[in-house]
Structure 1
């Protein structure tokens, strides 16, 4: 009887030892699966977080590429910073712009660019080089319509477009060598056409021209070339554009 009891106790002990490792392994597997699931969800969350940001395409010339200032001082970059500070998450702007471009040059550049997405916001600031090179208003208007056709194919269905006025370079030291009144008169003519263009197509329009004219008496609003805006002027533009476009 004692031998039977002893053998029974030994059998129970061995059975307990053999079962515990198996249970431990199953627990490890289950915990490991939970970790993997969390990892996958976190990765998806990161992707969703990135894609949830709004996209912004800025089209133009030297005033959009920020001739004479650092990248973070360009008005599109400062606009994005202001938007982000106000809770509107916008990606780093994609800029299609180059110093010296006329409407025709911008139109060609857009046609030759391989875009990989559509945009929530698109801005257009172009025309100063049309004025400087004495290009006709009719050509300007025709090119604007073609550019808008391109923009409409690049923006999302609910995408927002804003037209920005042409700054007045006559109110700079560089402009002293030219007839300031004539420059301003021509700039006003081009801008009036931009206003009509924006109104006809139901687009927002913002005037930065008056800010640019302060540069004659406020040298800190100009870059070192005494022609293009400084980061400070671009900041004023960015604030006004944000207030007009977003607020």
Structure 2
């Protein structure tokens, strides 16, 4: 009888150990992701709610594909009216870490709007891209550059073709630089050029993109962002 009891105890112990081992193997270690969004009014989300701005929508969209115990933090360095010069100064002042899993950069509209020399953008845009790479663990594959929206297609811009032509010049330079240096460039300008025909794409201020427009931005950016996070 004692032998049988000992045998039963041994069998139960083995089964419990196997169960614990299986449970431990099923636990996925949590991951902590960090996302840095650099830009101006289009990044801070002028005239839309805090959760409506595109970096937060992007974070929330990516979060749907992560494990439940993972974390995804977003830091935004952006203010309405910033030029490339302003953004450079702000990043330096923030003294942020260089361990971000994803960095987005959308900058240049205020250079155009404030009639800054185009040569300034030609100088400072590459500098900002290199800073973005530095913040992205020194890996350019973790960086996404987003094209500049065209505010000519808003009530404020009123279809001004000069604006569109100049925005095209800025975007052409940025895209060419990114292609030459194998950096991901996402075009969303065409979405904003529907603003007069589709007023729901323009925020209540008559100038900036709406929550709906930002959602369309995210649809374009999400596949690349997911891929970079996965890597």
- Scaled by the length of structure 1, the TM-score of the pair is 0.75
Distance 2:185 2:131 in 1: 18
Distance 2:84 2:124 in 1: 6
Map 1:9-20 onto structure 2 (within 5 A).
Answer: none
Q: Kindly tell me the number of residue pairs found equivalent between the two proteins.
A: 199
Which of the numbers 156, 160, 183 marks the counterpart of 1:174? 156
Say which structure is richer in helix.
1
Structure 2, gaps ≥5 residues long: 1-26
Alignment pair present for 1:65 and 2:47: no
Which of the numbers 196, 204, 207 marks the counterpart of 1:216? 196
Change (3 A) 1:90 1:156: farther
SS in 1 for 2:149: coil
Alignment pair present for 1:155 and 2:136: yes
Distance 1:86 1:154 in 2: 24
Give the greater-gyration-radius structure (CA): 1
Distance 2:106 2:154 in 1: 19
Query: Residue 77 of structure 1 contacts residue 92 of structure 1 at CA under 8 Å; is this kept in 2?
Result: no
Deviations, residues 83-107 of structure 1 (Å, cap 9, x unaligned): 1113375613100000000000000
Which of the numbers 173, 176, 179 marks the counterpart of 1:199? 179
Distance 1:208 1:220 in 2: 16
Structure 1 equivalent of residue 170 of structure 2: 190
SS in 2 for 1:56: strand
Distance 1:235 1:92 in 2: 19
The two structures, once aligned, show a CA RMSD in angstroms of 2.1
Query: Residue 105 of structure 2 contacts residue 132 of structure 2 at CA under 8 Å; is this kept in 1?
Result: no
SS in 1 for 2:80: coil
Structure 2 equivalent of residue 41 of structure 1: none
Distance 1:230 1:92 in 2: 23
Q: CA deviation at 1:213?
A: 0.7
Structure 2 equivalent of residue 235 of structure 1: 215
Map 1:113-132 onto structure 2 (within 5 A).
Answer: 113-116=94-97, 118-132=99-113
Which of the numbers 72, 77, 81 marks the counterpart of 2:56? 77
Alignment pair present for 1:86 and 2:56: no
Structure 2 equivalent of residue 165 of structure 1: 147
Deviations, residues 146-178 of structure 1 (Å, cap 9, x unaligned): 2123223211144510110000000000112xx
Structure 2 equivalent of residue 135 of structure 1: 116
Structure 1 equivalent of residue 35 of structure 2: 56
Q: CA deviation at 1:80?
A: 1.1
